[in-house]
Structures are given as C-alpha cells and as structure tokens.
C-alpha cells in the first residue's frame, strides 16, 4: 500500500532528540522549545511563538485568550477540519460559515462581508491543502469593521501570499505539527502573534496560570497544553530543511499535475499571488462521469493506493446540527467537493516511482468511469 502520508526524519532529528535524552531535558522546559518558538515565529514574520500540544489546542487557546464575549460570532469557511469550529463553540462563541472557492478550495472571501453582523468579532481564514486564502480583502474587512483575524495555517507551512508567509499576516495564527504536516513533530502546535500582552496570556493559559512571583497562587484557570523539548528537537531539525521540503512538495505536485491532465477532474491551482506548498495533492471528480470520491477511493485502495476524503463541511456535521447551528445553511461548493474530492499520497517520503504508479491507477479508474 502506498500510504497517503509518511514523514521523513532524515536530518538532525535523531541527533537533537539524543541530546534531550542524554541531558535529561525531555519535558516542557529546555533550550529546543525556546529555539523552536523563536525560529518558527521569525520564519513566519511574527514576534512571539507559543508552542502547545497540538493544532486543535492552538486554535482553542487562541480563541479563549482573545476573550470574546459569549455569543460573539466568528466567521470561518465551512470547508475545514472540525477543530476550527469547536475552538469557537468551546469558547461560547458562534461559528458562522461561508462557502469556499471551487478551485483553491479556500474560503470565498467575497462572501465574508455579507456574513458580518453587530455580533461579529473575528474572522478565521483557513489556508487549505497548501494554498493561501486571498488575505488582502480579509485584512481590509478587519480594518473596516474592527475585527480580529485568526489565521489557521496548519496546512501551509512555508506557503506565501504576495511574498508574505502564511501565518504571518493575521493578528494571531495557529499551526499544527502533526506527523503529516510539512514540519512534523509527531503531535504539536503553535500560536503566533505580534501582540505581547496576548502572548503573555497564551503562555500563562498554556501552563495552568502559574505565577512567577508565587508559583502556586492562581488568579485564573489555565490548562496543561504544554509542548515538550523532545518534540521541539524534531521540529527544529525539520525547520532546518523546510525550503528543501517545500521544493520537494512542489516537484511532487508538478509531477501529479502533468500526469493527471485531461481527465474529468479538477486539480490544485496556484493563483498568481500565491506560493502553494501542495501540502496534500487533492483532486475533485467531475460529477458528470457518475463516479464519486468514495468509489474512487475504494478502487484505488484495491490497487494499493491509500487516499483521504476531503472534509465534510462544518455546516453538515451532525454534532453542530444537534447544537442548533446551521439549520438552513446550504453551501453548494463545500457540499459538492466533500463528496467528489479526495487527496492522493503526498508525504515527504513518497518516491517518483510511487507517484507514477498512483497516476497510472487514477488514470485507469477515471477512464474506466462508473
Ligand atoms: C486546517 C487545520 N487546522 C487544525 C488542525 C488540527 O491540528 P491537530 O491535528 O494537530 O490537532 C488540522 C489538522 O490536520 C488542520 O488541517
């Protein structure tokens, strides 16, 4: 089976992890954590980095620390992972969803202003599968309506919008370093911001609101959302070769794109202002051929190719329906690509021969049709 993702740990990972083991710095203090936070923040063009245990928590911590009043509305794309919406509901806020674009699969920014009400406090753009959201209109709306922008950059490490790194544009940005990400630490995440006071609050909430002056005196309820020195050691080693990794991802995408041309499928795009890192190489099958992503995935699995379906939109999630959200919401692009889209093996360890094999199998199945 060609796995949908396989991490590549062939740099200084083992050396740095061994250093943690030899020195005993295996927990949430140690030099690699600070170094990783500082280097990742600097790479993305932000001042402060607060490493946490995963990307879901990075989002939850960011929304919590921003301290919006209950019932505040936060606008996000429906086409994203549940982590984004649950970060909003767990803080007592209301998720308001918009549709995505049919080609970049990112939030359709032309729909955002219509969704703004007197209760709106923030917008959460989510860069999808390696391609940036069109951020200028979002930042314009933030300025015009006094809103906070929480960028979810989990899927776009190294991607750029008009020459700026994704995750370095909004007021706060969140990352995941799960094993399938471009920088992979196993589990892990980070929040970035330029706002010093917010950074302090994030650090405090991450670590049970212990206080410097009197450690076991607590003014607020915090969490244990800590990241470890061992994870940071892996992250730093990965960060040392991020440019190489991004180039490999882009080469992988070029190979897929040239092999999958002229089929009844939509392939990833790259807007003129974007640097797409093709975190996962997705495709959307034309409905006209009567084949959906579930069936294609089943056939590819039989041929030894693992895939993943696209996200099911937030507005279609039973859990949110039960909570009373999204009663009359219908978002045609999100609903269609959720059923017609999947992504192909895209991990860093994939070989050119494996990509050729995947292309051959996809071509065969699509030409065979239903
Ligand atoms: C856009 C996005 N945000 C957040 C997350 C959550 O990250 P984690 O799996 O580290 O909790 C993911 C995970 O893949 C993601 O794709």
**What pLDDT, in 10s, does the model give residues 261-275?**
999 999 999 999 999
For all residues of the chain together, what is the average pLDDT? 97
Q: What are the helix and strand counts (H, E) for the chain?
A: 13, 14
Question: Which of 55, 62, 126 is the pocket-test mutation for ligand 1 (most atoms within 8 Å of CB)?
Answer: 55
Cβ-based burial of 327 (10 A; exposed 0-12, middle 13-18, buried ≥19): exposed
Look at residue 56 in the predicted model and tell me its pLDDT. Answer: 98
Alpha helices in 24-81, H assignment, sequence order: 31-44, 55-66
Q: The tokens of 308 are what?
A: 């993943």
Question: How far is the centre of ligand 1, averaged over its atoms, from the C-alpha of 363 (Å)?
Answer: 30
Long-range (24+ apart) CB contacts under 8 A made by 57-60 are 57/189, 57/223, 57/225, 58/174, 58/175, 58/176, 58/189, 58/190, 58/191, 59/83, 59/84, 59/87, 59/150, 59/152, 59/174, 60/86, 60/87, 60/90, 60/91
**What pLDDT, in 10s, does the model give residues 168-190?**
999 999 999 999 999 999 999 99
In three-state secondary structure terms, 191 is strand
Question: Which of 107, 124, 131, 178 is the pocket-test mutation for ligand 1 (most atoms within 8 Å of CB)?
Answer: 178
- Does this model's pTM top 0.95? My answer is yes
Question: Which of 154, 159, 343 is the pocket-test mutation for ligand 1 (most atoms within 8 Å of CB)?
Answer: 154
**What pLDDT, in 10s, does the model give residues 315-359?**
999 999 999 999 999 999 999 999 999 999 999 999 999 999 999
Strand partners, 176: 189
Cβ-based burial of 196 (10 A; exposed 0-12, middle 13-18, buried ≥19): exposed
Strand partners, 281: 344
- CA separation, residue 21 to residues 15, 36, 52, 128 (Å): 10, 18, 21, 36
Is residue 270 within 8 Å of 49, Cβ to Cβ?
no
Cα separation, 367 vs 12, whole angstroms: 44
Alpha helices in 116-195, H assignment, sequence order: 135-145
Q: The tokens of 47 are what?
A: 């001042």
Q: Which atom of ligand 1 is nearest to the CA of 180?
A: 14
The residue among 242, 58, 60 whose CA lies nearest residue 157 is 242
The segments of the chain whose pLDDT lies below 70 read 369-370
Look at residue 368 in the predicted model and tell me its pLDDT. Answer: 85
Question: How far is the centre of ligand 1, averaged over its atoms, from the C-alpha of 32 (Å)?
Answer: 23
Q: The tokens of 187 are what?
A: 């589990």
Q: The tokens of 207 are what?
A: 């670590």
Find the residues whose C-beta lies inside 6 A of ligand 1: 54-56, 80-81, 83-84, 126, 152, 154-155, 176, 178, 189
Kindly report the protein residue whose alpha carbon is nearest to atom 1 of ligand 1. 154
């Amino acid at each position: 089976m060609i796995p949908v993702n396989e991490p590549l740990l062939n740099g200084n990972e083992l050396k740095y992890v061994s250093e943690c083991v030899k020195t005993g710095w295996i927990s949430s203090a140690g030099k690699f954590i600070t170094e990783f936070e500082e280097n990742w923040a600097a790479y993305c063009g932000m001042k402060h980095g607060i490493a946490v245990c995963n990307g879901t928590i990075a989002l939850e911590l960011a929304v919590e620390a921003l301290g919006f009043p209950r019932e505040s509305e936060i606008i996000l794309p429906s086409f994203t992972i549940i982590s984004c919406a649950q970060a909003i509901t767990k803080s007592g806020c209301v998720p308001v969803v918009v549709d995505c674009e049919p080609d970049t699969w990112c939030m359709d920014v032309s729909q955002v202003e219509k969704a703004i009400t007197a209760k709106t406090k923030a917008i959460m753009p989510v860069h999808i599968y390696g391609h940036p959201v069109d951020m200028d209109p979002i930042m314009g709306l933030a300025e015009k309506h006094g809103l906070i922008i929480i960028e979810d950059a989990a899927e776009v490490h190294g991607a750029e919008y008009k020459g700026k790194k994704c995750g370095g544009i909004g007021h706060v940005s969140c990352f995941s370093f799960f094993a399938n990400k471009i920088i992979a630490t196993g589990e892990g995440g980070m929040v970035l911001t330029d706002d010093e006071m917010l950074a302090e609050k994030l650090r405090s909430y991450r670590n049970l609101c212990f206080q410097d002056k009197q450690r076991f005196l607590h003014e607020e309820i915090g969490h244990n959302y800590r990241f470890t020195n061992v994870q940071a050691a892996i992250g730093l080693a990965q960060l040392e070769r991020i440019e190489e990794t991004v180039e490999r991802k882009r080469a992988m995408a070029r190979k897929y794109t040239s092999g999958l041309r002229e089929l009844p499928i939509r392939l990833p795009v790259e807007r003129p202002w974007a640097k797409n890192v093709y975190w996962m190489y997705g495709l959307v099958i034309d409905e006209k051929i009567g084949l959906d992503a579930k069936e294609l995935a089943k056939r590819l699995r039989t041929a030894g190719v693992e895939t993943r379906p696209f996200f099911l939109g937030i507005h279609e999630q039973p859990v949110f329906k039960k909570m009373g959200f999204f009663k009359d919401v219908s978002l045609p692009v999100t609903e269609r690509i959720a059923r017609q889209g999947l992504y192909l093996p895209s991990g860093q360890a994939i070989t050119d021969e494996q990509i050729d094999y995947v292309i051959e199998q996809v071509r065969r199945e699509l030409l065979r049709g239903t």
